[in-house]
Amino acid sequence: MTRNILALLALVGTAPFAWAQTGKPAAPPRKIDSLHELSGALEQLARRVNRAVVQISATGYSLGEDNDSTKASLLTQQRSTGSGVLLTPDGYIVTNSHVVQGARRLTVQLALSQREQMRGRPGRVLEGKIVGIDRDSDLAVVKVEGNNLPHLQLGDSNTLRQGQLVMAFGSPLGLENSVSMGIVAAGARQLKPDDAMVYIQTDASINPGNSGGPLVDADGQVMGLNTFILTQSGGSEGLGFAIPSNIVRSVYEQLRKSGHVHRGQIGIYAQSITPVLAAGLRLPQNWGVLAGDVTPGGPADEAGIQVGDVILSMDGRTMENARQLETRLFRHPVGGKVHLKVLRGSEELEFQVPVIEPEDDPMRFADLVDPDKNLIPQLGILGVEINVKTTELLGDSRKKYGVVVAARTASGPNADSGLEPGDIIYALNGTPTTTIDALRSAVKELKSGDAAVLQIERDGQLRFLAFEME
């Protein structure tokens, strides 16, 4: 189909447009011209793709940033609508994490055919369950129960070329079963220097609600997942961005398998070498990767890498910029080793560096909470009990029990207690808090004006937080 559409696009400029002398449109031609063939091909593609695109409605809580100096995340209630695409006949859906993040309840509306829409039939609505969320890539996997559901295949985003025809599907502003057409403006757009994420840039119209919908090629393969726009007006201005399918595939497979994503790192802050950087440091080349920092005691440090080393290659592949290095590390199995060749002065050195999984941010516990079960309103927090799963995320902690602060609420009688996400609460007024119910019950016993002293662990250190109950 790709070859036919591209050939037809070349012929559109010569398609006949006949008008009668009276100024009225002429009768449809007996033979189907190239323009009508193109239109028919696009209609056929849209019908096939649309059946696998879903509308996702999420009700729940969203984590936002507070404006105070602690930068602690706040939990606020919200409702949102986005899109998703079915990748399997048994109901696995990929979407953006910001569509479902903090969701208390998910509903997934399956697409209707154009005929069904014309008849006013309601779309089939299913309950959705979050399988896993990855905030770094802004991807999530949702599961619905079903069989023989229409679904699409992930394509190879590395084959995309500038100017290639693409179509964006989704539910912009809640208008389900919408489609727009455009071209690939850039196949690997990097928005920030040394950012590991790259995006497909397209001029196909993308608006709020398109998030999580597929960007497909002329063969109907998912080449990207619509994610965000750059705009001054708030609407589409032809600067839409989609996560490339090859990144989607890697994250999707890991989320489906284990519910989270393993990212490899070696304890290096990599920087892309620029001509100015090379001139100032008298480097032998004005491109490549520089070790801007080496984490003390990290894998690279222990292997012998030093700040200022120029990383020439990884596993035999030349490293042209920091993004390339980070991307290859992301795909490398945690627990293995990478072979680095570096330039130090005029000497070339080689190292074997172990790949480890980095410690996660304090918000790693937020995916484990259910606001109905984990809310402790008197403290303005959502808590998670220490168990086997949280122990894996915590690493070494001072005690084997306690309640981890997963998030703070935006309001509450004691929302300014000083607790931050990632804190572990061990005791209240000297009484151990082994479970959420125990902590909740102990707080309920306190009256307004009573002293409350929490023993917590923060960043590996024990401390006391003291405040008066409101």
Judge contact between 401 and 426, C-beta under 8 A: yes
Whether residue 98 lies in the annotated active site: yes
Nearest to 429 by CA among 416, 439, 417: 439
pLDDT for res 394:
64
Tokens of 15: 């398609």
Based on the fold, state whether residues 412 and 383 are members of the same structural domain. Answer: yes
Q: Does 396 participate in catalysis according to the annotation?
A: no
CA distances from 396 to 215, 263, 399, 407 (A): 43, 20, 9, 20
The residue behind tokens 């592949």 is 317
Show the domain range for 18: 2-46
Residues 103, 241 within the same domain: yes
Are residues 41 and 55 both part of a single domain?
no
Total H helices, total E strands in the chain: 11, 25
Q: Are residues 61 and 197 in the same domain?
A: yes
Would you state the pLDDT for residue 459?
77
Rounded to whole angstroms, the Cα distance separating 351 from 447 reads: 61
If you count them, how many residues does the chain have?
470
Q: What is the pLDDT of residue 369?
A: 62
pLDDT of residue 392: 58
Catalytic, out of 98, 178, 203, 205: 98
CB atoms closer than 10 angstroms to residue 107? 17
What six digits make up the tokens of 320?
């042209």
Same domain, 304 and 431: no
Q: Which pLDDT score, from 0 to 100, does residue 310 have? A: 95
Q: Considering 354, 383, 411, which residue would you say is the last residue of a domain?
A: 354
Number of domains in the chain: 4
Single out the residue of 251, 322, 336 nearest to residue 293, CA to CA.
322
- Residues 285, 160 share a domain: no
Q: Please confirm, yes or no, whether 36 is among the known catalytic residues.
A: no
Q: What is the CATH number of the domain that holds 85?
A: 2.40.10.120
Name the domain boundary from 354, 388, 406.
354
Pair 334, 454 in one domain: no
Cβ atoms of residues 237 and 306 within 8 Å: no
Does 132 share its domain with 76? yes
Domain boundary among 200, 230, 262: 262
Based on the domain organization, do 396 and 413 belong to the same domain?
A: yes
**pLDDT at position 165:** 92
d(CA 80, CA 98): 9
Looking at the structure, do residues 110 and 197 belong to the same domain, yes or no?
yes
Relative to beta strand 403-409, strand 73-86 is parallel
Catalytic residue among 57, 157, 171, 211: 211
Q: What pLDDT sits at residue 12?
A: 44
118 and 191, same domain (yes or no) = yes
Among 134, 138, 367, 423, the active-site one is 138
Q: What is the DSSP secondary-structure string of 346-362?
A: TEEEEEEEE-BPPPPPG
pLDDT in tens, the chain (470 residues): 545 554 444 444 444 444 444 455 565 555 567 888 888 888 899 999 999 999 999 886 555 554 454 444 555 567 788 999 999 999 999 999 989 876 778 899 998 766 666 665 667 899 999 888 888 889 999 999 999 999 999 999 989 999 999 999 988 877 777 899 999 998 778 776 656 678 999 988 887 878 999 999 999 999 999 998 887 666 667 788 999 999 999 899 988 887 778 778 899 989 989 898 899 888 988 999 999 999 999 999 999 999 999 999 999 999 988 888 887 887 777 788 999 999 999 899 999 999 987 665 545 565 566 666 788 888 888 888 887 666 655 667 788 889 988 877 655 565 566 788 888 999 999 899 989 999 999 999 998 888 888 999 987 888 888 888 87
Contact 191, 183 (CB under 8 A): no
Cβ–Cβ < 8 Å for 45, 167: yes
Question: Could you tell me whether strands 199-202 and 178-189 are parallel, antiparallel, or unpaired per DSSP bridges?
Answer: antiparallel
DSSP for 178-240?
A: EEEEEEEEEEEE--STT-S--EEEE-S---TT-TT-EEE-TT--EEEEEEEE--SSSS--S-E
CATH classification at residue 440:
2.30.42.10
* Neighbouring residues of 247: CB distance < 8 A, sequence distance ≥ 6: 137, 139, 157, 197, 198
Residue 56: the pLDDT is 93
Q: 10 Å Cβ neighbour count for 196?
A: 20
| pLDDT, position 115 | 64
DSSP class of residue 453 equals E
Residues 338 and 232 in one domain: no
Contacts of 357 (CB under 8 A, 6+ apart): 262, 263, 264, 265, 334
The answer to whether the CB of 433 falls within 8 A of the CB of 425 is: yes
Contact in structure between 206 and 229 (CB atoms under 8 Å): yes
